[in-house]
Structure 1
């Protein structure tokens, strides 16, 4: 067995900084969305992806891939949104196993109402904390990490 490649000081600082920032940003955004719209952060992201999709609908498998979510986790979140009338499911006509998540008019309106407060919170906890150069570095770095193929 090969000896592990331990993180050096810079790598550890980057890792710890990422974790601390991620948890802080995620917690703040989740609290803001729950308070203002009664949504969790993952539920908000589901609505965003559906709103951007043609016809406001995506196959559940495609939605899970876009969100980098487990199928079971996505099924749970869509179920919660469905109970509130924000999303509905419909069977795929060409594949008996396929299911679409469909954004309802109520879901679109909920997203429209939630978006301004969410953007304000994103600015407060991340965007406005950094200068343009730092934002460019983050965009490039996280874009590179985010576009890597998922490990098998």
Structure 2
């Protein structure tokens, strides 16, 4: 079923807005912290949680396991995270943010907040922001209603045995 013209317009407006915001954020993160957007997202999640498994990180940032492994290797080499086997699950790897990682997040966060505030929220009223939050939460929850990508792969591998 084709999209109605207003749906297509909404999709393109959303896509362009996301791309513009991501580009500006990526430039700021590179300039102020020598981080990519995905690296910042990983560090920010770890700063909030302290320690997560690689699977939790991959599912949280919606990133492939192989891509996450590569990014985690770069962050570990830079001394921003540590990785170690889980004592509870021999298949799991736990990731912990280091003090240097926390410092890096704190260093880039003010510029990150400034860009997001200026580009995303400045043209919106408080009511617009609340409505957009409600709408995007519904859309995200709908998209996440499927099992996480990591468990889909596990189920396919298990079912093929």
Question: What TM-score do the two structures reach when normalised by structure 1?
Answer: 0.91
Q: What's the secondary structure of 2:90's corresponding residue?
A: strand
CA distance in 2, matches of 1:150, 1:68: 13
CA distance in 2, matches of 1:134, 1:10: 19
Give the Å deviation of 1:143.
0.5
CA distance in 2, matches of 1:92, 1:29: 33
List gaps (5 residues or longer) in structure 2.
153-161
Q: Does 1:23 align with 2:19?
A: yes
List gaps (5 residues or longer) in structure 1.
none
Give the Å deviation of 1:70.
1.3
**1:25-78 CA distances to partner (integer Å, 9 max, x unpaired)?**
11110111101111111111111111111xx11000011111111111111111
**1:62-108 CA distances to partner (integer Å, 9 max, x unpaired)?**
11111111111111111111111001101111222110111001001
Q: What's the secondary structure of 1:90's corresponding residue?
A: strand
TM-align CA RMSD: 1.3
Q: Return the match for 1:80 from 74, 77, 92.
A: 74
Q: Does 1:57 align with 2:14?
A: no
Q: Does 1:107 align with 2:101?
A: yes
Map 1:3-152 to 2 at 5 A: 5-53=1-49, 56-148=50-142, 149-150=145-146
Kept in 1, the 8 Å contact 2:32–2:107? The answer is no
CA distance in 2, matches of 1:83, 1:150: 34
Change (3 A) 1:123 1:64: same
Regions of 4+ moved over 4 Å: none
Question: What TM-score do the two structures reach when normalised by structure 2?
Answer: 0.86
